[in-house]
Amino acid sequence: MKALICSRPGAFEYKDLPAPVLQPGHAIIKIKRIGICGTDLHAYQGTQPYFNYPRILGHELAADLVDADALSGFIPGEALTFIPYFSCGKCIACRNGKPNCCATIQVCGVHVDGGMADYLSVPEDTLVKSEGLSYDELALVEPLAIGAHGIRRANVMKDEFVLVVGAGPIGLGTMEFARIAGARVMAMDVNETRLEFCRNRISVAYTINPSAEDAIKRLAEITNGDMPTVVIDATGNRKAINNGLQYLAHGGRYVLIGLQREEFCFSHPEFHKREATLMSSRNATRQDFEHVIHTIKAGLIHPLTYITHRVQFDEVKDVFEEWLHPSAGVIKAMVEKE
């Protein structure tokens, strides 16, 4: 099979590799779509945590089932997606129903090779039924599940103000699920094009560009002085993460979905006086995947509007670096395979 390997930061190469052989408890899937996410971009740049080279990237996938050990209700040839976080099932997180933060988790395309290839072997218990979704929609379930999980972690309630910092695909999904939870959603980003997308494509009522206006003043105006009770970082940018606490209401929750490699820091007095809650949100669970599929089927989210760029698998190496630049206007790039 053909695979695209990130051999080192800034370098891709296509290689012919042996196709995977069916193993007990596993399934072989044929890749049809690959969504490009921030993890892939950061890995290419050399800034992704938990990462080693060489690596086959790709974890936002739609596929057809080729074969499975016991089939478990799946039929060869049917469309599907999968949960790309391989957990041990035995550690304290897994025993407590949190396989998304398993102590020895193996994330597809990060810790182990991913889906930028013709075929992929995955644990059979990670397969997810398509429920009639298209390949494009199936490839978008995973990034949407990241946002859905963050909103569930934050226990977002009806009518509370939720600020999402970062209007990339993960941030957009987070905004959508905050809206579905009944929150009053605010988007913050320094990219005006992405803020325009928030306003015009997913109907976010309040958008803030901190590089062009006084963000704290604007948030105070919107919230009648209260400030947002939930602030969610979806940037993975150290400066943004360090600045986020200042936007938070007293008694509020600060949720880090975005991830970066360095330490983060904030004023202890500012944190303490708020009696703030700080939490991370890692990956997603099957519950989140099922919630996303239900919301797409119900027409509550239209994720195909996120797709701004499409390429064939053979073209990825030539265009990937362009997607790193804000001028390219990428929100979601989708790789198509026959």
Residue 284 burial by Cβ neighbours in a 10 Å radius (0-12, 13-18, 19+): buried
- The pLDDT tens digits of the residues spanning 21-48 come to 999 999 999 999 999 998 899 899 988 8
What's the mean pLDDT when you consider all of the chain?
95
Q: What is the pLDDT of residues 225-271, one digit of tens each?
A: 999 999 999 998 999 999 999 999 999 999 999 988 889 999 999 99
pLDDT of amino acid 30: 98
pLDDT given for residue 146 in this prediction: 97
Q: Can you tell me the distance from the alpha carbon of 70 to that of 306, in angstroms, rounded to the nearest whole number?
A: 36
277-328 per-position pLDDT tens digit:
999 999 999 999 999 999 999 999 999 999 999 999 999 999 999 999 888 8
| Amino acid (one-letter) located at 105 | I
Overall average pLDDT of the 46-63 stretch = 92
- Per-residue model confidence (pLDDT) at position 42: 87
With a cut of 80, say whether residue 134 has pLDDT above it: yes
Nearest residue to 49 via CA among 246, 236, 302: 236
Encoded amino acid at 43, one letter: A
Residue 70 has pLDDT above 80, yes or no: no
Q: Determine phi and psi for 270, rounding to 5 degrees.
A: -65, -40
Alpha carbon distance, N-terminus to C-terminus of the chain: 13
Cα separation of 3 and 122, whole Å? Answer: 16
For the CA atoms of 6, 289, 154, 236, the dihedral, rounded to the nearest 10 degrees, stands at 10
Assign 242 to helix, strand or coil. Answer: helix
> 289 in helix, strand or coil?
helix
Inter-residue contact 111 to 85 (CB < 8 Å)? no
Q: Where does the pLDDT of residue 71 fall: very low under 50, low under 70, confident under 90, or very high at 90 and above? A: low
Residues 137-158: pLDDT tens digits? 999 999 999 999 999 999 999 9
